[in-house]
A and B are shown apart, each in its own frame.
Chain A
Amino acid sequence: MNQKPLRKLLITDNDDDTLKILKYCLQTLKDIEIKYVTSGEETVKEALLWKPDLILLDVVMPKMDGITTMRVLRLLPSTAHIAVIFLTSRIEPTEIENYFKEGVLDVIIKPFDPLALASNIQVIWNR
């Protein structure tokens, strides 16, 4: 179980509508500061400057996808420790397994249950 409480959560998705839904879904998370960005580049920037505890990261994004973003984060000493949950519409078990090999904390499949998303993130963090 993670001893450290979740304080800062960074959410990345290049789809504006999905990002909006995510905002509504995560309103229930109390005492957690949430930031929303729409690209891999912005994710790395926010990770370096804002230092979130957890990043909910979309996998399929133009230019810099989730996997590349994750690898960049792991290469930078100040972001290497940040936990990442992938948000993906890919359902192939082999692909999901590969995500775990990259070192993600967990994978949330799209479309997700909007009512359970907040608690799912909390459960994954505490695990």
Chain B
Amino acid sequence: MNFFTTNLLLYSVLILTLICLGMIVFLLRRLGKSLPRHEIPSPSCANTLTIINSMVDAVYSCNLEGIITSWNAGAEKIYEWPAAEILGKSISLLIPPEQIFHFEQLRKLFSEGKNLIHVETQAVKKTQEIIWVHTTYCMIRDKNQKTVGVSISAHDATCQRKSRESLQQSEEKFRAFIETTEEWVWEMDPVFRFTYSNPSVDKILGFSSQEMLGQEMFFFLPERMREQIKRNMQKFVEKRGGWTQQTEIWRHKNGTELCLESNGKPILDAAGELLGFRGTARDVTEKLKTEKVKNEFISLVSHELRNPLTSIHGALGLMKQEETIAEKEKDLISIAYRNSERLTQLINDVLTLEKLQSGRLEMEYKIIPLREVIEEAIQSSQPAAEKANILVMIEALIDVQIKGDANRLHEVMSNLLSNAIKYSSPQGKVFISMQILDDQVRVLVRDEGPGIPEEFRSKIFQRFARADSTTTREKEGTGLGLSICKNIIEHHGGKIDFESKEGEGTTFYFDLPINKKNP
């Protein structure tokens, strides 16, 4: 072979190799393109495939026998079936058994000529977990318009469905509350016309929810009240404000009058414009009547008990001064006299406590110098301290102003001082001091008495609380004092507490908010 022949052969082998390589590359590329997760019919356009595969939604297809013929990445994610496993399998794997009939219905719809069907239905994942999917079924036809299969796109709607269901459940729950509560729940527009009333209005006012709609609230008030209430309501409109525990007289459908206690809140839009009012009301007619009877009873008890006590107390007081009476009788009379005093205090305390707890004790809140109240209380307790041979020592008093009822705080201080004196041994000392703690002022009354027994500490502010020991039984008192103190301090927005060590003494203290406008 000459040089020329050899070269030609080499060149021919090279060209053939290149052609073969080109063909392999071509075939590989073709193969690569048709290595899909799906086999969408007519994947003529690579772009379409790319788009389908990048979709979050499931896109798949099946033939008329229900055999899955294509499956995109979205489908893999939603149903958790890899394409390799699901392709060629029945679509019934994706449908809960009890819903197979849906698929039959779809088949029927398609046979009736429907092309596109949207449904929200349940589906089964590979894991057998049931999910909700928004599904669109579309017929696939061949060139001759013959139906050859169905393309399906599905969107996971489980979260939406769950939140919709929970919203619905919550709405149903609140609707049930509103429809069954005994309170009248209402809504009004800005000109006080009812736009909603729950069924309770029938029980309260005798009108049905429907009868209330569109009616002005003033229609349900006695004529004599209308103008005044109109003026009051107008203020709420101007201030865009609400009201709480407002008591008004309303008119029942049968003409009788009743007392309703209502709470209302304005409904404002995003721009702050008033859209109306929403609130509740309840019939307090009976409650007010009962309260009136109770008040009258308390007043009567107070008076009727005090009058005979005046005679008993007076008579005993005069008798025990008589010089002609023997020592033994004098002693007995003194016991009776002391106990008549105790009974008087008990009546006072019971009445005070009842009023405090029912909120009927009127407090006269004023800006007051607390130091003066403390000093006055110390002065008032001096006779008792001297009688018991106790020294009341002022450690530190601070000039501070608070908003409070001076008489009631005097009562608290006197009570704490009286206890400290009572439980101190003769020649003992009681210490008074004040401290500032941020925006609060603390008043402390410390004694060197026996201290409060551990087991009694949790009950100390309860009514009729007295440590059941011989020592404490000997001390006079009603067992209501500290309960009254606690109520008074809490009415002032403060708190009362104590620290005690058996055998060393007790410190009672109360904290009150300092008036912010303190000079």
Assess the B317–A110 pair: CB atoms within 8 A.
no
Report the bound CA distance from A1 to B327 in whole Å: 42
Report the bound CA distance from A124 to B314 in whole Å: 20
Which residues B326-373 have CB closer than 8 A to chain A?
340, 344, 348, 351, 362, 364
Nearest A-chain residue to B320, judged by Cβ: A115
The residue among B307, B309, B407 with the most chain A CB atoms within 10 A of its own CB is: B307
Nearest B-chain residue to A87, judged by Cβ: B310
The one of B310, B314, B318, B364 in contact with A89, judged by C-beta atoms closer than 8 angstroms, is B310
- The list of the 10 closest CB pairs from A to B, nearest first, reads A21-B314, A89-B306, A114-B317, A17-B311, A111-B313, A114-B314, A111-B310, A110-B310, A111-B309, A89-B303
Interface residues of B, Cβ cutoff 8 Å to A:
299, 302-303, 306-315, 317-318, 321, 340, 344, 348, 351, 362, 364, 407
Nearest A-chain residue to B360, judged by Cβ: A92
Which residues A2-17 have CB closer than 8 A to chain B?
15, 17
Report the bound CA distance from A114 to B309 in whole Å: 12
Report the minimal beta-carbon distance from A52 to chain B, rounded to whole angstroms. 22
Assess the A25–B318 pair: CB atoms within 8 A.
yes
Assess the A89–B307 pair: CB atoms within 8 A.
yes
Q: A89-B302, A89-B303, A91-B351 are in contact. Are A21 and B310 (CB under 8 A)?
A: yes
5 contacts between A and B (CB under 8 A): A21-B315, A89-B303, A94-B362, A110-B309, A114-B315
Q: A112 in the interface, Cβ–Cβ < 8 Å?
A: yes
Nearest A-chain residue to B304, judged by Cβ: A89
Assess the B318–A112 pair: CB atoms within 8 A.
no
Assess the B362–A25 pair: CB atoms within 8 A.
no
Q: A90 in the interface, Cβ–Cβ < 8 Å?
A: yes
Query: CB-CB < 8 A to B317: which residues of A?
Result: 113-115
Report the bound CA distance from A21 to B317 in whole Å: 10
Report the bound CA distance from A56 to B314 in whole Å: 16
Report the minimal beta-carbon distance from B50 to chain A, rounded to whole angstroms. 87
Q: A93 in the interface, Cβ–Cβ < 8 Å?
A: yes
Query: CB-CB < 8 A to A110: which residues of B?
Result: 306-307, 309-310
Assess the B307–A18 pair: CB atoms within 8 A.
yes
Report the bound CA distance from A115 to B333 in whole Å: 15
**Interface size grouping (class) on chain A:** 20 to 34
Query: CB-CB < 8 A to A93: which residues of B?
Result: 362, 364, 407
Q: A24 in the interface, Cβ–Cβ < 8 Å?
A: yes
Chain B contact residues: helix, strand, loop or mixed: helix
Query: CB-CB < 8 A to A112: which residues of B?
Result: 310, 313-314
Q: A105 in the interface, Cβ–Cβ < 8 Å?
A: no
Query: CB-CB < 8 A to A15: which residues of B?
Result: 307, 310-311
Report the bound CA distance from A8 to B420 in whole Å: 44
Report the bound CA distance from A94 to B348 in whole Å: 15
Report the bound CA distance from A94 to B364 in whole Å: 9
Report the minimal beta-carbon distance from A16 to chain B, rounded to whole angstroms. 9
Q: A91-B351, A93-B364, A94-B362 are in contact. Are A111 and B318 (CB under 8 A)?
A: no
Nearest B-chain residue to A91, judged by Cβ: B348
Report the minimal beta-carbon distance from B306 to chain A, rounded to whole angstroms. 3
Assess the A111–B340 pair: CB atoms within 8 A.
yes
Query: CB-CB < 8 A to B299: which residues of A?
Result: 90
Query: CB-CB < 8 A to A21: which residues of B?
Result: 310-311, 314-315, 318
Report the minimal beta-carbon distance from A124 to chain B, rounded to whole angstroms. 18
**Given A20-B311, A89-B306, A90-B302, 12 new contacts (CB under 8 A):** A17-B308, A21-B318, A24-B318, A89-B303, A89-B310, A92-B362, A93-B364, A110-B310, A111-B312, A112-B313, A114-B314, A114-B318
Query: CB-CB < 8 A to B306: which residues of A?
Result: 89, 110-111
Query: CB-CB < 8 A to B340: which residues of A?
Result: 111
Query: CB-CB < 8 A to B303: which residues of A?
Result: 60, 89-90
Assess the A111–B321 pair: CB atoms within 8 A.
no
What sequence of 0s and 1s flags, for each residue 95-127 of chain A, a beta carbon within 8 Å of any chain B beta carbon? 000000000000000111111000000000000
Report the minimal beta-carbon distance from A87 to chain B, rounded to whole angstroms. 9
Report the minimal beta-carbon distance from B422 to chain A, rounded to whole angstroms. 20
Query: CB-CB < 8 A to B321: which residues of A?
Result: 115
Report the bound CA distance from A58 to B39 in whole Å: 108
Nearest A-chain residue to B407, judged by Cβ: A93
Nearest A-chain residue to B343, judged by Cβ: A111
Report the bound CA distance from A5 to B323 in whole Å: 31
Assess the B314–A18 pair: CB atoms within 8 A.
yes
Report the minimal beta-carbon distance from B118 to chain A, rounded to whole angstroms. 74
Query: CB-CB < 8 A to A25: which residues of B?
Result: 314, 318
Assess the A114–B313 pair: CB atoms within 8 A.
yes
Assess the A115–B364 pair: CB atoms within 8 A.
no
Nearest B-chain residue to A22, judged by Cβ: B314
Q: A110-B307, A110-B309, A111-B309 are in contact. Are A91 and B314 (CB under 8 A)?
A: no
Query: CB-CB < 8 A to A89: which residues of B?
Result: 302-303, 306-307, 310
Report the bound CA distance from A25 to B313 in whole Å: 12
Report the bound CA distance from A21 to B337 in whole Å: 14
Nearest B-chain residue to A116, judged by Cβ: B317
Report the minimal beta-carbon distance from B268 to chain A, rounded to whole angstroms. 39
Which residues A53-82 have CB closer than 8 A to chain B?
60
Nearest B-chain residue to A113, judged by Cβ: B317
The residue among B303, B306, B314 with the most chain A CB atoms within 10 A of its own CB is: B314
Query: CB-CB < 8 A to B313: which residues of A?
Result: 111-112, 114
Report the minimal beta-carbon distance from A47 to chain B, rounded to whole angstroms. 24
Nearest B-chain residue to A115, judged by Cβ: B317
Nearest A-chain residue to B405, judged by Cβ: A93
Report the minimal beta-carbon distance from A11 to chain B, rounded to whole angstroms. 13
Report the minimal beta-carbon distance from A57 to chain B, rounded to whole angstroms. 15
Query: CB-CB < 8 A to A91: which residues of B?
Result: 302, 348, 351
Nearest B-chain residue to A16, judged by Cβ: B311
Assess the B311–A18 pair: CB atoms within 8 A.
yes
Assess the B364–A111 pair: CB atoms within 8 A.
no
Nearest A-chain residue to B300, judged by Cβ: A60
Query: CB-CB < 8 A to B307: which residues of A?
Result: 15, 18, 89, 110
Report the minimal beta-carbon distance from A28 to chain B, rounded to whole angstroms. 11
